[in-house]
Amino acid sequence: MIRNRAPVTRALIDSVPVAFGYIPLGAAFGLLFADLGYTWILAPFAALIIFAGSAQFLAVGLLAAGAGYLEAFVATLVLNARHLFYGLSVLDRYPVRGLARWYLMFGLTDETYSLVTTKPVPEPADRVPYYVALTALNQSYWILGCTLGASMQSLFQLNAEGFEFALVALFVVLLLEQMKTMDVQWPLLVALVASMGTYALLESQFLVMAITLCVATLGLWYARTADG
Amino acid sequence: MDNQYVITLFVVMAMATFITRAAPFVLLGRFASHPFLAAISQLFPAMIMMVLVFFSLVTLEYAGHIERYVLAIGALCWTVLIHRMMGQALISILTGTAVYVVGIQWFGL
A165-179 and A16-35 helices, crossing angle to 10°: 140
Let me know: does A69 contact A96? Beta carbons within 8 Å. no
* B102 membership: H or E segment, kind and range: helix B89-105
Looking at the complex, report in whole angstroms how far the Cα of residue B65 sits from the nearest Cα belonging to chain A. 13
| B2-43 pLDDT, tens digit each | 899 999 999 999 999 999 999 888 887 666 667 777 777 778
| A97-110 pLDDT, tens digit each | 889 999 999 999 88
ipTM value for the complex: 0.84
Check residue B31 and give its pLDDT: 65
Looking at the complex, report in whole angstroms how far the Cα of residue B49 sits from the nearest Cα belonging to chain A. 5
**Distance of alpha carbon A86 from the chain centroid:** 11
| B36-93 pLDDT, tens digit each | 777 777 788 788 889 888 988 887 877 678 888 999 999 999 999 999 999 988 889 8
Check residue B29 and give its pLDDT: 61
What is the DSSP code (8-state) at residue B60?
A: S
Measured between alpha carbons, how far is B51 from B45 in angstroms, rounded to an integer? 10
Measured between alpha carbons, how far is B60 from B69 in angstroms, rounded to an integer? 9
Measured between alpha carbons, how far is A42 from A147 in angstroms, rounded to an integer? 9
Check residue B34 and give its pLDDT: 74
Measured between alpha carbons, how far is A112 from A217 in angstroms, rounded to an integer? 30
What does residue A66 show for φ and ψ, rounded to 5 degrees?
65, 40
A16-35 and A110-118 helices, crossing angle to 10°: 170
Spans in chain A with pLDDT lower than 70: 1-4, 204, 227-228
B57: nearest Cα among A154, A35, A115, A171: A171
**Subunit contact A218:B50, Cβ cutoff 8 A:** no
Measured between alpha carbons, how far is B5 from B15 in angstroms, rounded to an integer? 15
Check residue A96 and give its pLDDT: 82
> What DSSP string runs through A103-143?
HHHHT--HHHHHHHHHSPPPPHHHHHHHHHHHHHHHHHHHH
* B46 membership: H or E segment, kind and range: helix B43-58
Check residue A118 and give its pLDDT: 72
What does residue A180 show for φ and ψ, rounded to 5 degrees?
-60, -35
**Subunit contact A199:B6, Cβ cutoff 8 A:** no
**Subunit contact B25:A73, Cβ cutoff 8 A:** no
Measured between alpha carbons, how far is A100 from B32 in angstroms, rounded to an integer? 21
- Which residues on B lie below 8 Å from A166 (Cβ)? 93, 97
- Which residues on B lie below 8 Å from A161 (Cβ)? 101, 104-105
Check residue A1 and give its pLDDT: 46
